[in-house]
Amino acid sequence: NKFTRKKNPGVRWGGFSLLLLNLEEYYSEQHRANHILHKGSHHERKIRGSLKICSKSAIFEPDAISQPIIKIPLRDCIKTGKHRENGANRHFTKAKSGSISLIFSQVYFIKEHNVVTPYKIERGKMEYVFELDVSEKVEDVVETLLQLHRASWIDKLGDQTAMITAILQSRLARTSFDKNRFQNISEKLHMECKAEMVTPLVTNAGHVCITDTNLYFQPLNGYPKPVVQITLQDVRRIYKRRHALMPLGLEVFCTEGDLCSDIYLKFYEPQDRDDLYFYIATYLEHHVAGHTAESYMLQWQRGLLSNYQYLLHLNNLADRSCNDLSQYPVFPWIIHDYSSSELDLSNPGNFRDLSKPVGALNKERLERLLTRYQEMPEPKFMHESHYSSPGYYMLCLQNGRFDNADRMFNSIAETWKNNLDGAPDFKELIPEFYGDDVSFLVNSLKLDLGKRQGGQMVDDVELPPWASSPEDFLQKSKDALESNYVSEYLQEWIDLIFGYKQKRSGAVGAHNVFHPLTYEGGVDLNSIQDPDEKVAMLTQILEFGQTPKQLFVTPHPRRITPKFKSLSQTSSYNASMADSPVSPGEESFEDLTEESKTLAWNNITKLQLHEHYKIHKEAVTGITVSRNGSSVFTTSQDSTLKMFSKESKMLQRSISFSNMALSSCLLLPGDATVITSSWDNNVYFYSIAFGRRQDTLMGHDDAVGKICWHDNRLYSASWDSAVKVWSGVPAEMPGTKRHHFDLLAELEHDVSVETISLNPASTLLVSGTKEGTVNIWDLKTATLMHQIPCHSGIVCDTAFSPDSRHVLSTGADGCLNVIDVQRGMLISSMTSDEPQRCLVWDGNSILSGRQSGELLVWNLLGAKISERTQGHTCAVTCIWMNEQSFTTWKICGFKLSKSW
């Protein structure tokens, strides 16, 4: 069952192709030449073309496509040397000759009349003569052929590979990049080294060169063109790759969404790869290093990436490449129904269970696999073949022949049935099943692929009844991939392929265990000394298939999707979500952002200074504004609470509760009472109407750093390592009776708590500690949900997203971290060169205040800074905003504030 692919630029049917080479064979040089037939006789004639010297064969490609390509395996050669006019062959001769003689016992004729058919083989002792256009090259070509001929007769594969590699490296060492190929004479060379360009099934050796404006690759053989050039300004993404299980690969993309890269390079030394990566990365303004699996996950969760785009990004990050068939991108089977005349994507029964690997979809087959697994000695594995291996994608002829007709990719429905029932079949799909190119489904070249056992000819792939054409099949497949059902459950498949169910106990529990050699780090090739054993092991690993690099070690969060109707698939994820305080699935992302759209976030990058007032002598620590916006209340390290009138632009009150700093403030509903927290361990209640302190809550044993209020409950965070929850019954008449406080819960921490925040529904609380830990608490049960050590210093500020699905934290280490609330997973991190002291956000954009006094606007989903505004001359410590305005307050040695 072959999923064929025909659009890679290195693969073409017209004329010579690198796919005519054997696996792991190099094409090192070509020479214009004539093939001399019947040399020296009256019937002598010349066929014009190119002689190509490869590591295991000599290939002659005629100019006329009516003539077949000739391939002479060097292992079948009897003699190689210069051709003398009398027909005698010598390995060394001083005679002037521009001809090379090959005497051999077997030859292949390929693509006569440019028709792809199985190779024609002619056996028996023969001599072919090739006359080079440049006679001075004959001696070098003969010497190269003699060396390669000797290598081909080495029985031990490891020694043979070593000798061929040495010959290739010697040739590379004698050549260098042609600087005349630079696009501009003013280009400055940064680096040059040896490398190979990788395309499916083949590699092409040559020289890599990078300048201040371009990346170049010059093939040693000039194929498919003399030089490949990529403008650095066009580069959008770069990835380091494992190639043959070693850190030698580098892939460059010049577009965001393309399946195929612009170039895949394999280096001979890891340092060369890393140096080139560094040069490109430093050039890029928005380098892909900022896009981690977690940052892409955040974009997918919030609907900015389609399911297809997200899976493509995950494959790229997991070392999957279209240029490496041993690590081809893997996509899931989605549709379960391939027999109906109509496909109903609203019916959950038409979808595959994404929580199970292919090998576990059939209960009876799974029971047989588990029985064998339990009886197997260590190392145990459940699946004897992989869901992704080169054999599924083979495009070239295998040893000059097409595969067995019944093993080819003949039918969608048959392939799915074999996947469910067939003993060795566990394959997933490839991205092409959800793309636009139908060529892998259509025998457009009308190849004679043979007959099946039933007598029918192999031709176009048979489609399910519900697909009217290949284009219709792909469109319906795309619709299925992007359907509400898949959006709700795709994270379960990601757990299997890229996540925590890929390895160890998670894989065992999910019946997802493959052979140990398929996993990254399953074997250390460098520790194998015997070259034959090493080559054999590598071949086994590459042909069996490789499991993607693991990207997630905890369960993957689900997508933010609309509430679905009549979806009955049972899910381990759903069970864990049932009692979640986050309550996912109740609103779509579009609904959730309606609130933030009413704010001024669209103009966040257009901040302008509106007013500027001095009201405090020392650092401002808190700010709150009355409901009608007429009064601004602030606290400061100068131990005062101040009330400022925006209407009269005058300071109206200055209140002191103790001689210690006040740390935060808030207004109770009704705007009649201000609450402040203090470093003297107390919380103070101030009646605005009566102008006096109304109550004092002596609730902690150390400074109170932050307070929150919701629905008659007070939340206080202290340096005594506790967050306390109080019931605060307000006085019947402000100023006449004292508040009554009862301690409802105490959330204990190991170290002092610096900051807290509530989610909009006040069902969750997040706390940040002195030692950089972010804690997420379920307030219904007063239990700790997650503890995430994500900062290297004090956590300065925290905030929930409007939908309560994410927490944003900032710290003295300069990091802005996004945490998934349900999983407690750090999913995005952005870094600045100095502490971010305070922040506000709408779930997408962030406004933060820096130690230096700058205001930064961050594009969270783009992982970049959108705008910088120098707002103050020293640290910004408080930010308050409503839908009409932004107000920021700075810390400094004298009273100062600003309004924006």
Q: Which of 39-48, 581-590, 721-730, 857-866 has the lowest mean pLDDT?
A: 581-590
Say if CB 474 and CB 433 are below 8 A apart.
yes
Q: What local confidence, expressed as pLDDT, does residue 589 receive?
A: 38
What is the structure's pLDDT at 94?
44
Question: pLDDT tens across 81-95, in order?
Answer: 998 754 444 444 444
What does pTM read for this prediction?
0.76
From residue 512, give the alpha-carbon distance in Å to each of 317, 490, 503.
21, 16, 8
Quick check: 893 pLDDT over 60? Answer: no
Asked if 628 and 645 touch (Cβ cutoff 8 Å), the reply is no
Q: Using one digit for the tens of pLDDT, what is the confidence trace for 653-692?
A: 999 998 999 999 999 988 899 999 999 999 999 999 888 9
Q: How confident is the model at residue 406 (pLDDT cuts 50, 70, 90)?
A: low
pLDDT at 401: 62
pLDDT band for position 97 (50/70/90)?
low
State the Cα–Cα distance between residues 70 and 505, nearest whole angstrom. 54
Computed over its alpha carbons, how large is the radius of gyration of the chain?
A: 35
pLDDT band at residue 740 using 50, 70 and 90 as cut-offs: confident
Mean pLDDT of 15-33: 87
- Coil, helix or strand for 680? coil
Confidence band of 886 (pLDDT split at 50, 70, 90): low
Asked if pLDDT for residue 395 goes beyond 50, the answer is no
**DSSP bridge pairs for 265:** 197, 250
Euclidean distance between CA atoms 508 and 383, whole angstroms: 12
pLDDT at 473: 97
CA-CA distance, 22 to 398, in Å (whole number)?
Answer: 9
Are 845 and 814 in contact by the 8 Å Cβ rule? The answer is no
600: which 2 tokens? 């001024």
Q: What is the mean pLDDT of residues 591-610?
A: 60
Mean pLDDT confidence for 10-34: 78
In this prediction, residue 563 carries a pLDDT of 42
CB of 301 closer than 8 Å to CB of 560:
yes
Is the pLDDT score of 880 beyond 90? no
Q: What are 37-75's pLDDT values in tens digits?
A: 987 777 789 999 999 999 999 999 999 988 999 999 999
User: In 3D, which of 682, 640, 675, 642 has the Cα closest to residue 661?
Assistant: 640
For the chain, the residue count is: 900
- Residue keyed to tokens 């940052």: 295
- Predicted confidence at residue 338, as pLDDT, reads 96
**Which CATH topology does 177-290 take?**
PH-domain like (2.30.29)
Ranges of CATH 1.10.1540.10 domains, the chain: 348-544
The pLDDT of residue 390 is 73
Residues of the chain with CATH 2.130.10.10: 618-729+740-834+878-890
pLDDT digit string, tens, across residues 416-459: 998 898 767 899 999 999 999 999 898 877 777 777 777 777 77
pLDDT value at 770 more than 90? yes
Residue type at 818?
V
Sorting pLDDT into bands at 50, 70 and 90, what band is 722? very high
Range in 461-475, 573-587, 725-739, 751-765 the model is least confident about: 573-587
227-283 tens-digit pLDDT: 999 999 899 889 999 888 789 999 999 887 778 899 999 999 999 999 999 999 888
How many H helices and E strands in the chain? 13, 43
Cα 341 off chain centre by: 37
Please name the residues in contact with 98: beta carbons below 8 A apart, sequence gap of 6 or more: 131, 132, 133, 134, 135, 138
DSSP sequence for 580-629 = -TT-TTSS-HHHHHHHHHTTTGGGGGG----EEE---SS-EEEEEE-TTS
Distance between CA 368 and CA 193 in Å, rounded? Answer: 52
Confidence class of residue 399 from pLDDT cuts 50, 70 and 90?
Answer: low
Distance CA 97, CA 95 (A): 6
Mean pLDDT of 214-235: 93
Hey, which of 287-301, 374-388, 775-789 has the most confident mean pLDDT? 775-789
Residue 128's pLDDT is 95
Name which of 462, 496, 545, 502 is nearest 352 in CA terms.
496
Task: Give 3-state DSSP helix, strand, coil % of the chain, rounded to 5.
Answer: 25, 35, 45
pLDDT tens per residue across span 98-156:
799 999 999 999 988 878 788 899 999 999 999 999 999 999 999 999 999 999 999 89
Pairing between β-strand 202-211 and β-strand 189-199 as defined by DSSP bridges: antiparallel
Dump strand ranges (E) for 502-592. none
> Spelled out in words, what is the top-level CATH class assigned to the domain 348-544?
mainly alpha
Counting residues of the chain whose pLDDT is more than 70, the rounded percentage is: 86
Q: Any idea of the CA torsion for 530, 533, 537, 539, to the nearest 10 degrees?
A: 110
| Averaged pLDDT score across all residues of the chain | 85
Domain range 2-85+96-173, CATH class: mainly beta
Residue ranges, comma separated, of all CATH 2.30.29.30 domains in the chain are 2-85+96-173, 177-290
State residue 393's pLDDT score: 55
Q: Above pLDDT 90, what percent of the chain? A: 54
CATH fold, domain 618-729+740-834+878-890, is: Methylamine Dehydrogenase; Chain H (2.130.10)
Other CB atoms within a 10 A radius of the CB of residue 70 amount to 23
